[in-house]
A and B are shown apart, each in its own frame.
Chain A
Amino acid sequence: MKCPHCSRPVDHEAHTCYSCGYSLATAESIFGRNYVQMSRLHDAAHCLRKPERDVLEDILDQLEMRFPQLLFCVYLGALTKEVKLNELGFWLLNHAEVRGADYARSNENGVLLLIDVNTKQAGISLGYLGELLLPEAEGYRCLQAARPYLVNGAYGQALAILLRKIGRVLSRRARQIKRNPREIEDASKSRPIVPEVIPPDPEPLPREMQAAMAGRL
C-alpha cells in the first residue's frame, strides 16, 4: 500500500499520506469532485479497432463469469504529463461508475487497467479487495508480459494478454485462499512499515559539551 502521489508506504487506516499529506481530496482538487460514468472498455484515446474491442469484450465476459464478485474495466487515455496515472486510477475507482456493472461488483472489488498512450505508461489500479488478491509482484509480472506489445503499440493484444494473465493469477490466488481461508484475513490486517513522521530525539551531547554549554549559560 503506497501513496499514489509520493509512492511511500501508507498505513491501511491513514486518512492522509504521512509523508506528503495526499488524500482523495487532493485528487478531487485535480480531477474534480463530481462522479463520472465510464464503460467497461473505455477507449478515450481511440486506439482500439473493432475486432480488438470484440476480443477484449469476450475476455472481459469470461473474466466476469469466472469471478462474479470482481469488477474488471479498462481505461485508455491520452493524458498530459502533469497527470499521474496512479492518481487517475485512484480517483476513477472512487469516482467512476462502470456502466452495466451489476450491484455485486462494487468498485471496492475493482481491477482497473490503465494505459496512457502519451506518456507510455500502463498500470493496474486496484480496489481494496483487489489489493489482497493481486499482489504487487504478480501485477508487475502481468504488466511485463504485455510490455512487448505495448512497446509496439499493439494495445489490443497487450490488454488481452494482460487480462488473461490477471485471470490466471486470480485463479491461483483463489486456490491458495481455498486451501487457507485465513490468509486473506491475515493479509487484510497486516500493517506496512510506515516511516517515522516525527524525527527521533537527538542524541545527548557529550559531557564536555554539556558542561561547556552549562558554563556558557
Chain B
Amino acid sequence: MKSTLIALTTCLALAGTVVAAAPELPEWERGADPGQFVLGGGLWPGAPPSEEDVPVDNAAAQQLAESAGAATTAPGAPGDPVARQRPLGPPPVIADPRSEPVLMAMADAGARPAAGLRVPMPALMPLSAMETFSHELPPVAGELRDEYFSLRPVEYLVDPQRLLTEQKSHDVQRFLEYHADEAQFDICLMLFGGSQEIPEDISLEDRHREWFADQPVVLVAYFLEHPERTRVVYGAGVRQKLPDGVFNRIFQSCVREAQVAETPFDQVERFAIEMSIRLYWLAKMIERQAAGESIPTSEEELSGPKWENLAATEQPGAAGSAGIDAASDAAAAGLPVLLWLGVGGVILLLSSLAGVGAWWWRRDSLAAKPVLFPDVDLPTRLGGNFSGGGYVGISFDVSGKAES
C-alpha cells in the first residue's frame, strides 16, 4: 500500500512537472498592426487574416474572390483589402493581363472554395512572371530620405523600400560582396523607384565625399525600370585620373547591358555585373596609367582588344617561359610594335584616300549645300521672254542617227 502511494505520488509530480515545463509558443502578430512583423523578409503581407476577415460561408468566399479579381485590375482602390493590409514591403504587383492571371481564372471558372474553408487573401496567391508596378512610390522624403542619406551605408545594396524581391535582393547583395572582395573598387548600389527622384538638396558627390572620402567606392543611384537615369559617382580622385570618355563608356555599357534584360529586377542584376566588370578594367587602366602608359580615349580604343585582353598579357613569365634569349625577346617585343605601326599606317592611308574620294564625290553631290548663281541681265531673242530656244538634243532611235 505504501509503495502504491509512493508510485501514485511520483506520477502526479511528474505530470505536474511536464505541465509546468510546457514551451512558450510565439504569438502570431495581429492583423490590426501588420507593419511591425514582416514575414518572409518583406515578400508577403505581414499578418495572416484574422478571424473577422476570413469568410466562412460560400457567399462570402465568392464575394471575396470577386473582390480579389477586382483587386488585380484596380489595386490600391479604396476598400481594397489588399491595399489596407499592405505593409512596407515590395510594391503591390498585378498580373499581366495577357498572361491569364490565376486569380481571375479562379474567380471566373467557378473554382469556389468549399463551405467552411478558409479562403486565403488574394494577394497571397502566386503571381505571374510578368510583374509590373501598379502604383506610384512615395517621394524620397522624411524617414525614407533619412534611410537613404542620413548615414553611411553599411551594406553594398541600399534598398530600404524593398523594391527587389527577396531572392533577387540576396543575389545582388551577395554579388556585390563578392565583387568587393575581388575588385579594387567597391560598388554601393542605392535602389530607387522608377518614378522617384533624388531630393534636389542631396548631392551624391557630397555624400560620396562624406561617406567614403578617398576610399575606392563607386556610389550608384539606380532607378528601377529606368537604368538610363542611373547616376554613378566615382569620387574626385578617380575622375581626375582618367578622361571623361572612359567613364561615359562604362556608363553606356552598363545601361546597354541592363536594357537587355526583360524584367526590372534582372536589369538591376545585369547592371551590377557589367559595372563590376568595367570597374575591374578601370582599376587595371589606372594601374597602367600609373606605370606611364597612355590611356585610350576614343570609343574604338576603349572597346578594342588591348584592354580586354589585359588578363592574358599580364600573366607573369608567360613570355619568358620559352627560354629565349634577350635578343630574341627584344625582337619579339619590337615586331608587334612595327606590325601595329604598319597596319595603322596602311589604315590611315586608306582612310585618307577614302576621305579624299568621298570629298571629291560629295562636292558635286546633290546633297551638298545650296548653290547660288549671280544675277545677270540677259537680253531676249526671238521674241521669247524666258527662253531664246537654247536646246541640246539627241535621237535614240536605233535605226536613226544621233544628232545634236
Name A's B-contacting residues (CB within 8 A). Answer: 1-4, 10-17, 22-25, 59, 62-63, 65-70, 85-87, 89-90, 93-94, 106-108, 110, 114, 119-134, 136, 139-140, 143-144, 147, 150-151, 164, 167-168, 170-172, 174-175, 177, 181, 184-185, 188
Q: Is the CB of A121 within 8 A of B396?
A: yes
A88 closest partner in B (C-beta):
B391
6 new A-B contacts, CB < 8 A, other than A10-B389, A23-B382, A185-B374, are: A14-B381, A14-B382, A25-B383, A108-B385, A121-B395, A140-B392
In the complex, whether B26 has a CB less than 8 A from a CB of chain A is no
Say whether, besides A62-B367, A122-B396, A123-B392, A10 and B387 are in contact (CB < 8 Å). no
Say whether, besides A17-B382, A67-B371, A108 and B366 are in contact (CB < 8 Å). no
Q: Is the CB of A126 within 8 A of B391?
A: yes
In the complex, whether B126 has a CB less than 8 A from a CB of chain A is no
B363 closest partner in A (C-beta):
A171
B391 closest partner in A (C-beta):
A86
Q: Is the CB of B373 within 8 A of A177?
A: yes
CA distance A125 to B388 in the complex (A): 9
- Interface size, chain B (Cβ < 8 Å): 37
Q: Which residues of A contact B386 (CB under 8 A)?
A: 93-94, 106-108, 110, 127-128
Q: Is the CB of A1 within 8 A of B396?
A: no
Q: Is the CB of B400 within 8 A of A120?
A: yes
Q: Is the CB of A93 within 8 A of B387?
A: yes
Of B364, B373, B396, most A-chain CB atoms within 10 Å: B396
Tally inter-chain residue pairs, CB-CB below 8 A: 180
12 contacts between A and B (CB under 8 A): A2-B389, A3-B389, A12-B378, A22-B382, A65-B370, A119-B397, A120-B395, A125-B387, A125-B390, A125-B391, A150-B396, A188-B377
DSSP majority for the A interface?
helix
A3 closest partner in B (C-beta):
B389
Q: Which residues of B contact A10 (CB under 8 A)?
A: 381-382, 388-389
DSSP majority for the B interface?
loop
Name B's A-contacting residues (CB within 8 A). Answer: 363-368, 370-374, 376-398, 400, 402, 404
Q: Which residues of A contact B400 (CB under 8 A)?
A: 120
Of B364, B370, B384, B387, most A-chain CB atoms within 10 Å: B387
Q: Which residues of B contact A93 (CB under 8 A)?
A: 384, 386-387
B392 closest partner in A (C-beta):
A139
Of B366, B379, B386, B389, most A-chain CB atoms within 10 Å: B389
Q: Which residues of A contact B402 (CB under 8 A)?
A: 147
Say whether, besides A93-B384, A94-B384, A129-B378, A1 and B390 are in contact (CB < 8 Å). yes
CA distance A102 to B363 in the complex (A): 26
Q: Is the CB of A66 within 8 A of B390?
A: no
Q: Which residues of A contact B378 (CB under 8 A)?
A: 12, 108, 128-129, 132, 188
CA distance A15 to B383 in the complex (A): 5
Q: Is the CB of A181 within 8 A of B374?
A: yes
Q: Is the CB of A68 within 8 A of B391?
A: no
Q: Which residues of B contact A4 (CB under 8 A)?
A: 382, 389, 391
CA distance A132 to B373 in the complex (A): 11
Q: Is the CB of B372 within 8 A of A68?
A: yes
Say whether, besides A94-B387, A131-B388, A151-B398, A172 and B364 are in contact (CB < 8 Å). yes
B370 closest partner in A (C-beta):
A68
Q: Is the CB of A120 within 8 A of B390?
A: no
Q: Is the CB of A120 within 8 A of B397?
A: yes
CA distance A148 to B382 in the complex (A): 34
Q: Which residues of A contact B379 (CB under 8 A)?
A: 12-13
Whole-angstrom distance between the Cβ of B124 and the nearest chain A Cβ? 61
Q: Which residue of the partner chain, among A107, A123, A147, A164, contacts B391 with CB atoms under 8 Å?
A: A123
Whole-angstrom distance between the Cβ of A110 and the nearest chain B Cβ? 7
CA distance A166 to B203 in the complex (A): 61
Q: Is the CB of B390 within 8 A of A24?
A: no
Say whether, besides A10-B381, A13-B379, A136-B404, A89 and B366 are in contact (CB < 8 Å). no
CA distance A60 to B292 in the complex (A): 58
Q: Is the CB of B393 within 8 A of A143?
A: yes
CA distance A114 to B394 in the complex (A): 10
Q: Which residue of the partner chain, among B363, B373, B380, contacts A128 with CB atoms under 8 Å?
A: B380
Say whether, besides A86-B389, A124-B393, A1 and B376 are in contact (CB < 8 Å). no
Q: Which residues of B contact A110 (CB under 8 A)?
A: 386-387
Say whether, besides A133-B373, A150-B396, A181-B374, A168 and B364 are in contact (CB < 8 Å). yes
Whole-angstrom distance between the Cβ of B9 and the nearest chain A Cβ? 112
Q: Which residue of the partner chain, among A62, A119, A126, A143, contacts B366 with CB atoms under 8 Å?
A: A62
CA distance A42 to B393 in the complex (A): 18
Q: Is the CB of A122 within 8 A of B381?
A: no
Q: Which residues of A contact B370 (CB under 8 A)?
A: 65-68
Of B392, B393, B400, most A-chain CB atoms within 10 Å: B392
Q: Is the CB of A121 within 8 A of B393?
A: yes
Q: Is the CB of A129 within 8 A of B373?
A: yes
CA distance A44 to B390 in the complex (A): 22
CA distance A182 to B255 in the complex (A): 59
Q: Is the CB of A12 within 8 A of B391?
A: no
Q: Which residue of the partner chain, among B364, B377, B394, B398, contacts A123 with CB atoms under 8 Å?
A: B394
CA distance A159 to B384 in the complex (A): 26
CA distance A175 to B378 in the complex (A): 21
Whole-angstrom distance between the Cβ of A19 and the nearest chain B Cβ? 12
B376 closest partner in A (C-beta):
A188
B396 closest partner in A (C-beta):
A150
Whole-angstrom distance between the Cβ of A187 and the nearest chain B Cβ? 9
Q: Is the CB of A12 within 8 A of B404?
A: no
Q: Is the CB of B376 within 8 A of A184?
A: yes
